[in-house]
Amino acid sequence: MILNHSMVAADAFEKHLVNRKRKKNWTLKAAGFTLMLTSMVDMFSMLVVFLLQTFSSSPEILLTKGVELPNSVTPSMVREAPVLAISSDGNIYLDQMLVGLTKDISKKPNELLKKLNKIKSSWSKSHTSPFTGEINLQADREIQSTVVAQIMGILTSSQFQSIELAVVGHR
């Protein structure tokens, strides 16, 4: 069979139709790959706000100088409360302020009791909830358990019934 020139060569209208179909398919493919940046920016903004709220809701306790906390297998979450620290050199700190020596306070706890009562009275001014009687106790690992028990006795006599011992948890 002999091919005609008219059968092999496409005329201008056919070329136009082929090019039009190619352009149409290209625009469909290009439209499928567009990104909706507004939605993605909104999603990342919500993610950032969520992460900030999550990390800001858990309070942290400042570790007092001279206090090396004991290790524990079962740590729990820290709650917001006053911090009483007993350092290795025998000093007692209440919210990072020196109160006195453990040997003096165990004999005459009046100084510590005054400061604890001051914290209880100021709690209602700075917080919406009533004072719950919670306190975080940081005791150095070298402090004898009898000294810690004496301080805990002073705390319970001053209406601090919920004493949380600060420890270092294993990961």
Higher-confidence position of 166 and 75: 166
Query: Which tokens is 161 given?
Result: 């019934």
Q: Please give the model's pTM, rounded to 2 decimal places.
A: 0.57
The confidence score (pLDDT) of residue 9 equals 56
| pLDDT per residue as tens digits for the range 31-48 | 555 667 788 888 899 999
Question: Is residue 17 scored above 70 in pLDDT?
Answer: yes
Spatial distance between the Cα atoms of 118 and 110, rounded to a whole number of angstroms? 12
* Residues 163, 131: Cα–Cα separation, whole Å: 13
Task: Give yes or no for residue 63 having a pLDDT over 80.
Answer: no
Q: Looking at the predicted structure, is the pLDDT value of residue 53 above 70?
A: yes
Q: H/E/C letters for each residue in 18-43?
A: HHHHHHHHHHHHHHHCCCCHHHHHHH
Tokens for 33? Answer: 């790959």
Higher pLDDT, 9 or 131: 131
Give per-residue pLDDT as tens, 68-113: 676 666 666 767 788 888 888 888 888 888 888 888 888 888 888 8
Given a cut of 80, whether residue 62 has pLDDT beyond it is: no
Tokens of 146: 């009898």
pLDDT value of position 126: 77
Instruction: Give which of 85, 116, 91, 117 is closest to 105, Cα–Cα.
Output: 91
The whole-angstrom separation of Cα 155 and Cα 163 is: 8
pLDDT at 75: 64
The 8-class DSSP code of residue 88 comes to T
Task: Give residue 165's region: left, alpha or beta (phi > 0; psi -120 to 50).
Answer: beta
